């Protein structure tokens, strides 16, 4: 039997694709429900929230097919906005500067025209300067990076960027500075979301074919005895191990793991998320599917609307928003629990998004593993851990097994790909 650790999309995909090959496997999941980051929760009288924004913009036909077989979907044109010094700008801000003061627009455009592109950028800050010039960098992505990635842009590498940014031409910057543009410059032109059941409905087809043992938190892995122990005092034997659980959690569980592997795992950096979810007693509170917040006195980095993603996410005639705030080892929480809810409720009121009487339900929760941070320590330490796991015959998959910036489609494909590797290894 192959034991798969974690029932997120990568673990479910690994199990589904092993089943297609007739290979026996079981998924062990610590939570009471499957889905991992693609899971959701419901509060009040039917307000459903995903964990973070979650829309599918996959270009992969195989993933599209699996998702479509699982659920009918709503197609969204991803028109989002930015909140900056009390002003709303269409996204991406660099292409839609028109609401800014003439003074700020002039500074942005002069710096864009004068930027020097004579040396290859060595870090994310230099890359931003290279693309946008100094004023825009320091006031927009520079500030946002600290909020979203929890580290300054100078400390981030650039190997995670490809295709994730919209790079403006001078012509488009000028057009957007004179008047609002209709063209959508976002890197994904359309996004899909299940009609019913939240984002995890895209996984239904695969999950229905898998054996998932829930409430099974792995606490110890004995590689010699090929045995996994769970926090409920039960255990299981396995022939092969496929892990999607975060590398730092995995190595902690391995009996007699060498100290240098533990040390490497402690140097990995990821962000954790604080989710403040608000349900409103009227339908018209959110205006856009999501928006970014640049102002530093407003703690969350961005918000999205589950009710715009699908009306099935709220009771009839209601609406909802979820605010995402990030923290990490290098950037502790500023506020939490009820005080963060209160902060957001008050700021939203000042931003004229709602009045306090519009709020029907509110919820606060934390997610320990959100985004992998690409700092200069990442590559070296991920290689040390991956080499060790390979030497012990442990297969790793998904966002936190690969320790990479994977979207849900890529995590799915990571789980699929490993099944071929397992078969090839068996043949040799
Ligand atoms: C802020 C944010 C926004 C995102 N937005 C999008 C988007 O719009 N579109 C998109 O395609 N992707 C998006 N993603 C990415 C997507 O969520 C991931 O690629 C995908 O869900 C990762 O799946 P996974 O299976 O690799 O990991 P996970 O979903 O984390 O699954 C790992 C599983 O392991 C379990 N586990 C952990 N420790 C143990 C243990 N000790 N024992 C047993 N089980 C354990 C966990 O409970 C979890 O269920 C977003 C991610 C974030 C953080």
Q: At 31, is the pLDDT very low, low, confident or very high (cuts 50, 70, 90)?
A: very high
Ligand 1 probe mutation, 36, 78, 144, most atoms within 8 A of CB? 36
| Burial group, residue 296, by CB count within 10 angstroms (0-12, 13-18, 19+) | exposed
Ligand 1 probe mutation, 289, 304, 399, most atoms within 8 A of CB? 399
413 lines ligand 1 (CB under 6 A): no
Structure confidence at residue 163 (pLDDT): 63
CATH of domain 272-367: 3.30.70
* pLDDT score of 188 more than 80: no
Structure confidence at residue 186 (pLDDT): 62
Q: Which of 404, 402, 400 is nearest to 418 (CA)?
A: 402
**For the segment 292-347, what is each residue's pLDDT rounded down to a tens digit?**
999 999 999 999 999 999 999 999 999 999 999 999 999 999 999 999 999 999 99
Structure confidence at residue 185 (pLDDT): 61
Q: Which of 207, 235, 172 is nearest to 14 (CA)?
A: 207
Phi, psi of 307 (to 5 degrees): -70, -30
148 lines ligand 1 (CB under 6 A): no
396: which 2 tokens? 């790793």
* pLDDT score of 291 more than 70: yes
Provide the sign of the torsion angle of the four alpha carbons 126, 131, 133, 134, taken in this order: negative
**How close is the Cα of 51 to the center of ligand 1, in Å?**
9
Ligand 1 probe mutation, 4, 9, 34, 37, most atoms within 8 A of CB? 37
* pLDDT score of 266 more than 90: yes
Nearest CA to ligand 1 atom 15: 407
* pLDDT score of 348 more than 70: yes
Structure confidence at residue 206 (pLDDT): 98
**How close is the Cα of 428 to the center of ligand 1, in Å?**
32
Cα(283)–Cα(279) distance, rounded to whole angstroms? 10
Structure confidence at residue 119 (pLDDT): 81
**For the segment 359-394, what is each residue's pLDDT rounded down to a tens digit?**
999 999 999 999 999 999 999 999 999 999 999 999
206: which 2 tokens? 């695969």
235 lines ligand 1 (CB under 6 A): no
Cα(73)–Cα(118) distance, rounded to whole angstroms? 46
**For the segment 104-136, what is each residue's pLDDT rounded down to a tens digit?**
999 999 999 998 877 888 999 999 998 999 999
Least confident of 154-163, 259-268, 406-415: 154-163
Average pLDDT over residues 60-77: 97
Average pLDDT over residues 165-187: 80
Nearest CA to ligand 1 atom 8: 54
pTM of the complete model beyond 0.85? yes
Average pLDDT over residues 19-44: 98
Q: At 164, is the pLDDT very low, low, confident or very high (cuts 50, 70, 90)?
A: low
* pLDDT score of 102 more than 80: yes
Average pLDDT over residues 261-279: 98
11 lines ligand 1 (CB under 6 A): yes
* pLDDT score of 161 more than 90: no
Structural domain boundaries of the chain? 2-43+61-66+196-268+375-427, 93-145+153-178, 272-367
* Contacts by 417-422, CB closer than 8 A, 24 or more apart: 418/14, 418/242, 419/14, 419/17, 419/18, 419/20, 419/21, 419/23, 421/395, 422/2, 422/18, 422/23, 422/240, 422/242, 422/395
* pLDDT score of 419 more than 80: yes
Q: At 137, is the pLDDT very low, low, confident or very high (cuts 50, 70, 90)?
A: very high
19: which 2 tokens? 């089943």
Q: At 187, is the pLDDT very low, low, confident or very high (cuts 50, 70, 90)?
A: low
Average pLDDT over residues 213-240: 98
Architecture of the domain whose range is 2-43+61-66+196-268+375-427: 3-Layer(bba) Sandwich (3.50)
Question: If you average pLDDT over every residue of the chain, what do you get?
Answer: 95
Average pLDDT over residues 240-248: 98
Ligand 1 atom with minimal separation from the 397 CA: 26
Average pLDDT over residues 14-31: 98
């Amino acid at each position: 039997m192959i034991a798969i650790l974690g029932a997120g999309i990568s673990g479910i995909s690994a199990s589904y694709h092993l089943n297609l090959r007739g290979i026996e496997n079981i998924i062990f999941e610590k939570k009471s429900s499957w889905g991992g980051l693609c899971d959701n929760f419901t509060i009040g009288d039917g307000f459903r929230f995903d964990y973070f924004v979650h829309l599918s913009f996959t270009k992969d036909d195989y993933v599209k097919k699996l998702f479509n077989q699982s659920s009918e979907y709503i197609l969204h044109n991803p028109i989002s906005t930015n909140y900056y010094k009390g002003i709303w700008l269409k996204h991406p801000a660099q292409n839609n500067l028109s609401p800014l003061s003439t003074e700020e627009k002039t500074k942005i455009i002069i710096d864009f025209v004068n930027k020097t592109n004579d040396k290859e950028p060595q870090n994310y800050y230099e890359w931003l300067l290279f693309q946008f010039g100094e004023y825009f960098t320091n006031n927009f992505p520079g500030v946002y990076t600290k909020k979203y990635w929890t580290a300054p842009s100078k400390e981030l590498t650039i190997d995670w960027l490809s295709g994730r940014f919209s790079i403006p031409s001078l012509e488009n910057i000028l057009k957007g500075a004179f008047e609002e543009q209709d063209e959508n410059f976002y890197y994904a032109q359309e996004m899909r979301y299940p009609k019913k059941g939240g984002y995890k409905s895209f996984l239904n087809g695969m999950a229905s074919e898998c054996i998932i043992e829930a409430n099974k938190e792995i606490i110890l892995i004995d590689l010699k005895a090929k045995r996994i122990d769970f926090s409920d005092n039960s255990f299981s034997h396995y022939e092969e191990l496929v892990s999607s659980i975060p590398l730092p959690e995995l190595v902690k569980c391995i009996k007699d793991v060498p100290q240098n592997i533990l040390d490497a795992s402690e140097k990995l950096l990821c962000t954790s998320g604080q989710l403040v979810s608000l349900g409103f007693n009227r339908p018209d509170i959110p205006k856009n599917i999501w928006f970014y917040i640049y102002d530093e006195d407003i703690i969350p980095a961005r918000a999205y609307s589950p009710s715009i993603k699908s009306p099935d996410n709220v009771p009839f005639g209601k609406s909802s928003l979820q605010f995402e705030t990030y923290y990490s080892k290098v950037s502790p929480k500023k506020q939490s629990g009820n005080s963060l809810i209160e902060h957001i409720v008050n700021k939203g009121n000042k931003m004229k998004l709602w009045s306090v009487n519009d709020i029907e339900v509110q919820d606060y929760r934390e997610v320990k593993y959100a985004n992998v941070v690409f700092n200069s320590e990442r590559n070296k330490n991920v290689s040390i851990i991956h080499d060790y796991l390979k030497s012990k015959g442990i297969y790793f998959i998904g966002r936190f097994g690969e320790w990479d910036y994977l979207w849900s489609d890529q995590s799915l494909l990571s789980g699929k790909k490993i099944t071929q590797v397992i078969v090839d290894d068996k043949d040799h």
